Amino acid sequence: MAYELGLCTAGKKKIMSETDDNSDRSVCWSSVQTIPARHRISRPNERSEFMSLICSGWAMSSIALPDGRRQILSFLLPGDVASFADLFGPVSSSLVEAITDVTCRIFRREEVRAILFGRPDLLGKLAESLIEERKQADELAVDLGRRTADERIARLILKLRERLARRGMVRDHTFEFPLRQWQIADATGLTAVHVSRMLGEFQRANVIEIKERWLTILDPVELGRVADRCSISGYFPNQPAGLTKANVA
Amino acid sequence: MAYELGLCTAGKKKIMSETDDNSDRSVCWSSVQTIPARHRISRPNERSEFMSLICSGWAMSSIALPDGRRQILSFLLPGDVASFADLFGPVSSSLVEAITDVTCRIFRREEVRAILFGRPDLLGKLAESLIEERKQADELAVDLGRRTADERIARLILKLRERLARRGMVRDHTFEFPLRQWQIADATGLTAVHVSRMLGEFQRANVIEIKERWLTILDPVELGRVADRCSISGYFPNQPAGLTKANVA
DNA sequence: CGGCCCTTTGACGGACGTCAAATAGCGTGG
DNA sequence: CCACGCTATTTGACGTCCGTCAAAGGGCCG
């Protein structure tokens, strides 16, 4: 429940324990798999019988253009499902790759579908998760279409911090940060060179510190100001717009 | 069914006819409403009891930043639902406005939910629609993050043409095109001035013609080439990447 | 030790934004 | 019917943010 797509994840865990109790009929098969860093988890336009749930490690979902340009759509953290689209469309359009070593639990598509369709409440949770994902995708579009480089990078860092915090993976504003600069670039629609410049500036200004794949937010207020420069109150995700002022006070 | 979100739209029509047959219990209330051009259809962060289905006209869904920047997330055409998010989250995060005069059918959120949860097949259709919307949002992210101005504009035109064609609203490569240049700019992450330059170039090159709010594609091949410059085959949406070559041959 | 990838930095270029002015279109009201 | 005010479009000049290219250094691993 604390996880980002926790509702649906919880749903799937329920499925599993349920089938443990009553294991004679349509057991929901699942197995754990380990994928080394930089390896593919699922390929676009590939018919797959499975859907996977990230158990540990970081992964990324991206779309690549034939000429080499690519856009990372989201980073996947433990508890995230790698592409709900697999559940319905026979093929998914995005490429999922492991950033660090990843372990994930694999479910048979058809079995998950069968269980979901027998439980309207779970289908409802699925729909909610999909709507939440859509909202994230919309925010990404705003970032890419209408924000400057430093805003995009600051927001990426803050969004990751928040998602990791919900998983209990942040201590003293410090968290693991395995991203390469070209991955930050592909997530923010920039180039690796420009990301390097921006991160350098943030670090020289003592806003953040990156060392040995760990990131520390030294000046959360300033980082928030950069992330949400256009509003007075700074960056407070998941706050109704009308309330941000109250939160500052 | 021919409509973009036709599955779910059809679902809602089914709901209605069904309740006509059996009208003593939980009738799905709906009413038709007319919204003049430039007026709001739904406001972000506003609790609404309703969800609306566009019956005629064009609308747009956008997110506005406090400093005036805005990103249009999608244009809504007849048959589109204005924000499925209304069905689950109590509030939607995007602003929906009429571009032309719009008529839409309004449903009570709770009644639609009640009916959906009684029919797993309809919930499944809803999930499929949501996944399709997500795919569109992902494509938008790629466009905004990784494509140049002319590519973005060419793709916008071709995507609209295709969606209108599915509705039988295109004749001889000509269709109604009520968009202002600042709306194209806000949809593509550009400025109105630059959109004007690009559209001027397209028109001087006899690729398209825009006259009195109607657009004609004069050179579909060239427009497709611009829209998908990075692949050899030009623009063929909804084709598995591996098959585009075959379609050219 | 020698590749390979990543990062950093500088110089330069280009795509796109900003500003401004001129014109056209369109609806409103006298 | 014309006057007017607003919005949209077009075009030019100029500025800037970010991309490209290149070189150098560092870390990692065989």
Per-residue pLDDT of A108-147, as tens digits, reads 989 999 999 999 999 999 999 999 999 999 999 999 999 9
In this prediction, residue A27 has a pLDDT band, given cuts at 50, 70 and 90, of: very low
Kindly state whether A42 is in contact with chain B, defined as any CB-CB distance less than 8 angstroms. no
A98 beta partners: A59
Q: Please tell me whether any atom of strand C lies within 7 Å of the Cβ of B67.
A: no
Kindly state whether B63 is in contact with chain A, defined as any CB-CB distance less than 8 angstroms. yes
- In angstroms, the CA of B185 and the C1' of C14 are apart by 20
Question: Is the C-alpha dihedral spanning A95, A101, A107, A113 positive or negative?
Answer: negative
For residue A4, what pLDDT is reported? 31
pLDDT of A90 strictly over 80: no
The Cα A146–Cα B188 span in angstroms is: 9
**Range with the poorest average pLDDT among A17-21, A156-160, A177-181, B212-216:** A17-21
Q: Please tell me whether any atom of strand C lies within 7 Å of the Cβ of B148.
A: yes
Residue A47 burial (CB count, 10 A): 11
CB-CB: which of A70, A121, A130 is closest to B131? A130
For residue A241, what pLDDT is reported? 43
DSSP A131-157: HHHHHHHHHHHHHHHH--HHHHHHHHH
Smallest CA–C1' distance to C5, residue: A180
For residue B195, what pLDDT is reported? 98
Segment A34-62, tens digit of pLDDT? 999 999 999 888 888 889 999 999 999 99
For residue A225, what pLDDT is reported? 96
For residue B23, what pLDDT is reported? 39
Q: Please tell me whether any atom of strand C lies within 7 Å of the Cβ of B190.
A: yes
B60 beta partners: B75, B97
- In angstroms, the CA of A51 and the C1' of C4 are apart by 34
Least CA distance to B119: which residue of chain A?
A120
Q: Which nucleotides of C are covered by protein (CB under 7 A)?
A: 5-11, 15-20, 26
Half-sphere exposure (Cβ direction) of A101: Cα atoms closer than 13 Å: 3
Kindly state whether B242 is in contact with chain A, defined as any CB-CB distance less than 8 angstroms. yes
Kindly state whether A71 is in contact with chain B, defined as any CB-CB distance less than 8 angstroms. yes
pLDDT of A246 strictly over 90: no
CB-CB: which of B44, B67, B146 is closest to A65? B146
For residue A240, what pLDDT is reported? 43
The Cα A248–Cα A84 span in angstroms is: 36
Residue A130 burial (CB count, 10 A): 27
- In the chain, the amino acid numbered A239 is Q
**How much of chain A, in percent, has pLDDT values that exceed 70?**
82
Inter-chain CB proximity B141 and A141 less than 8 Å: yes
pLDDT of A238 strictly over 80: no
Q: Which nucleotides of D are covered by protein (CB under 7 A)?
A: 7-13, 17-22
CB-CB: which of B89, B127, B229 is closest to A123? B127
Q: What are phi and psi of A211, to 5 degrees?
A: -150, 125
The Cα A149–Cα B225 span in angstroms is: 29
Least CA distance to B88: which residue of chain A?
A128
For residue A10, what pLDDT is reported? 42
In this prediction, residues A54-83 reach a mean pLDDT of: 96
Kindly state whether B64 is in contact with chain A, defined as any CB-CB distance less than 8 angstroms. no
For residue B18, what pLDDT is reported? 41
**Range with the poorest average pLDDT among A38-47, A183-192, A218-227, A228-237:** A228-237
Kindly state whether B244 is in contact with chain A, defined as any CB-CB distance less than 8 angstroms. no
- In angstroms, the CA of A197 and the C1' of C8 are apart by 8
For residue A187, what pLDDT is reported? 98
| Pairing mode, strands A214-217 and B95-98 | unpaired
The Cα A160–Cα A156 span in angstroms is: 6
In this prediction, residues A217-229 reach a mean pLDDT of: 96
Q: What are phi and psi of B123, to 5 degrees?
A: -60, -35
Mean pLDDT by groups of 10 residues along chain B of 249 residues: 35 43 48 93 86 95 96 97 83 90 93 91 93 95 98 98 97 96 98 98 97 96 94 67 38
For residue A28, what pLDDT is reported? 63
Q: Please tell me whether any atom of strand C lies within 7 Å of the Cβ of A192.
A: yes
Kindly state whether A131 is in contact with chain B, defined as any CB-CB distance less than 8 angstroms. yes
Coil, helix or strand at residue A227: helix
